[in-house]
Structure 1
Amino acid sequence: MNTDTAKIGITMQRFFADKLQDKILNRNTPKKVFSVYTNYESDATGEYTYFLGEEVTSFENIDQEFSTLTIPVQTYAKFTSDPDQMPKVVIDM
Structure 2
Amino acid sequence: MSSLLSKNEVIRHREFRFLGMGAVTSNQAELKGEGVIPSLWSNFYANNVLERIPNKINSSIIALYTKYESDETGPYTIALGTEIIEGQAVPSGLEEWVVPESKYVVFTTRIGPVQEVVVETWQEIWEWSKYNERAFQSDFELYDLRSVDPMNGQVDIYISVK
Which residue type is aligned with residue 25 of structure 1? P
Counterparts in 2 of 1:33 and 1:78: CA distance versus 1, 3 Å: farther
Counterparts in 2 of 1:52 and 1:77: CA distance versus 1, 3 Å: farther
1:51 aligns with 2:79: yes
| Count of residue correspondences | 89
What is the aligned counterpart of 1:16 among 34, 39, 45? 45
Aligned to 1:76: 104
Instruction: Percent identity, please.
Output: 23
- Residues 30-69 of structure 1 correspond to what in structure 2 (within 5 A)? 30=59, 32-40=60-68, 41-43=70-72, 46-69=74-97
Which residue type is aligned with residue 40 of structure 2? T
Bigger proportion of residues as strand: 2
Q: Distance in 2 between matches of 1:69 and 1:78?
A: 21
**TM-score, structure 1 as length reference:** 0.69
Q: Distance in 2 between matches of 1:22 and 1:65?
A: 13
**TM-score, structure 2 as length reference:** 0.44
Deviation at 1:90, TM superposition (A): 4.3
- RMSD over equivalenced CA pairs, Å: 2.7
Which residue type is aligned with residue 43 of structure 2? R
Which of the two has higher C-alpha Rg? 2
Structure 1: gaps (5+ residues): none
Structure 2: gaps (5+ residues): 1-30, 123-162
Deviation at 1:20, TM superposition (A): 0.9
Counterparts in 2 of 1:80 and 1:8: CA distance versus 1, 3 Å: farther
